[in-house]
Amino acid sequence: MSHKINTPAVNLPWNVKKYLKRNAGFIREPETNHPSVYELIVVVPAIAELKSGKKLLKSLKNNENTSKTLVLFVVNNPESADENIRSENKNLMEYLKDEAGKINTFDLGFIDASSPGNGLPEKFAGVGLARKIGMDTALTLFDYSSANKKILACLDADCLVESNYFTGIVRSYNEEKLSAAYVEFEHQIPEDKQQFRAIINYEIFLRYYVLGLKYANSPYAFHTIGSTITVDYENYVKTGGMNRKKAGEDFYFMEKLAKVTQIGRINSTKVYPSSRKSWRVPFGTGKRVSRFLSRARNEYLLYNPESFEILKNWLEIFNSPEVLSAGDYLKRAGKTDERLVNFLKSNGFEADWEKILVNSGNRNQINVQKKLWFDGFRTLKLIHYLRDSGMPEINMFDACDILFNKIDSGIKIARNSEIPPMETQQKYLAMLKSLF
């Protein structure tokens, strides 16, 4: 199967043509019967996922009838993959090929990035490159003559979805005029009690951090889970597309998106990511669950809520209408916390800010540069810096209680131990969900 697809020059918007010319090496020939007729393309990276892939497909089959939708698996492995992985990938592709003719509610296709000669280069092989290949190729398959939104969505092969997953995304984009969004999620509940504890712990961690960012009025207060990403084609192209990172590709891609458009939230449907242990990525859900089960460290800790207070104060200073010199910003930061000053200096704020002032022609450009400089990654770095500079993590449930109080939620969950029973832990998680 050829790696490249010769897309016709007609019908492709100029920005897509330009993007595809720069990224031609990532376009693969998809196996699908209906090219260029889609408005929603769901990209699913898969490596050694025959069992999970079947479950996902069963979940997708339960969706409402949807026209102009393609589910595109990217069956992948490094060129050096062992025979067991290659064999399972081959079986998955054969299964997908067989199933494609049986489904009448959406189209099903796949990209062979697995068989000899088609595998991913060792240096970049991973979920980021697999997503990029699928998403870049999807740009050649949209019906650009349609007035409706052309939407890219990401799933993982071990996910499940609600029965209105397709229609929920399409309606949200077209009715709410979304440009990028994440789909509401809830990790699958495992039967194993310890894995259940692990995933509740992990969800509290995820939702607490985003709620802390929301409290601080950060523009990066959104979830960055790969299987929940959606974006229209214009903003996908505008960001330069998906990156090739082997892990964390979702965080960096969503951060890039937030710099060019607003990240929305689709809560009319839901994705159910897996809660299993996994070898496929070096961090994320699978790694966190494995670490919890190994008891390598105390997992019942969260960032100190006061770090979000410092972040909130800094954002009020930095994002105020008044434009100050670097020195004046540092003086005001010093009134909040000297550690904030040290962080800004160690990240080159003074030199960078003076360049921004020189190169920005007006206040609008300066405001854009503010968001670009203090981005989602630098936000996380600040929280980590504060953690490592005398503001250590504290008990998970104490942290939640303090944050609930800070946002005047009126929430008070009764408990009489540092690590309460699972029923109480689930109450904390439910409250976090309700607040964001």
pLDDT > 80? residue 62:
yes
pLDDT > 90? residue 377:
yes
Residues carrying CATH 3.90.550.10, the chain: 14-199+218-294
pLDDT at 293: 75
**CA–CA separation, 165 and 161 (whole Å):** 6
Q: In terms of pTM, does the model score above 0.85?
A: yes
Inter-helix orientation angle 396-406/193-215, to 10° = 30
**CA–CA separation, 432 and 427 (whole Å):** 9
pLDDT digits (tens, 9 = 90+) for 35-46: 778 999 999 999
pLDDT > 70? residue 8:
no
**Sign, CA torsion 71/173/364/255:** negative
**CA–CA separation, 173 and 150 (whole Å):** 9
pLDDT at 6: 41
* CATH topology assigned to domain 14-199+218-294: Spore Coat Polysaccharide Biosynthesis Protein SpsA; Chain A (3.90.550)
**Sign, CA torsion 412/415/416/417:** negative
pLDDT at 285: 64
Which tokens go with 62?
Answer: 């339960």
Q: What is the mean pLDDT of residues 27-40?
A: 87
pLDDT digits (tens, 9 = 90+) for 327-352: 999 999 999 999 999 999 999 999 99
**CA–CA separation, 393 and 303 (whole Å):** 5
pLDDT > 70? residue 284:
no
pLDDT > 80? residue 323:
yes
**CA–CA separation, 306 and 398 (whole Å):** 12
* DSSP type of residue 309: H
With 0-12 / 13-18 / 19 or more C-beta atoms within 10 angstroms meaning exposed / middle / buried, residue 6 is exposed
DSSP of 313-366, one letter per residue? HHHHHHTSSS---HHHHHHHHHHH-HHHHHHHHHTTHHHHHHHHHHH--SHHHH
Cβ 307 vs Cβ 198: under 8 Å:
no
pLDDT > 60? residue 71:
yes
Q: Considering the chain, what percentage of its residues have pLDDT values greater than 90?
A: 81
Q: How far is CA 219 from the centre of its chain?
A: 15
**CA–CA separation, 294 and 301 (whole Å):** 16
Residue 65: count of CB within 10 angstroms of its CB: 10
pLDDT > 50? residue 395:
yes
- Phi, psi torsion values for 311, nearest 5 degrees: -60, -45
pLDDT digits (tens, 9 = 90+) for 143-196: 999 999 999 999 999 999 999 999 999 999 999 999 999 999 999 988 889 889
Amino acid at 371: K
pLDDT at 430: 95
pLDDT digits (tens, 9 = 90+) for 191-249: 889 889 999 999 999 999 999 999 999 999 999 999 999 999 999 999 999 999 988 89
pLDDT digits (tens, 9 = 90+) for 232-247: 999 999 999 999 998 8
Mean pLDDT of the chain: 91
Residue 267's SS3 state is strand
Q: How confident is the model at residue 20 (pLDDT cuts 50, 70, 90)?
A: very high
**CA–CA separation, 411 and 404 (whole Å):** 6
- Phi, psi torsion values for 327, nearest 5 degrees: -65, -40
**CA–CA separation, 57 and 46 (whole Å):** 12
With 0-12 / 13-18 / 19 or more C-beta atoms within 10 angstroms meaning exposed / middle / buried, residue 406 is middle
pLDDT > 70? residue 4:
no
With 0-12 / 13-18 / 19 or more C-beta atoms within 10 angstroms meaning exposed / middle / buried, residue 172 is buried
Q: What angle do CA 14, 19, 22 make, to 5 degrees?
A: 130
Closest CA to 124 of 231, 242, 6, 223: 242
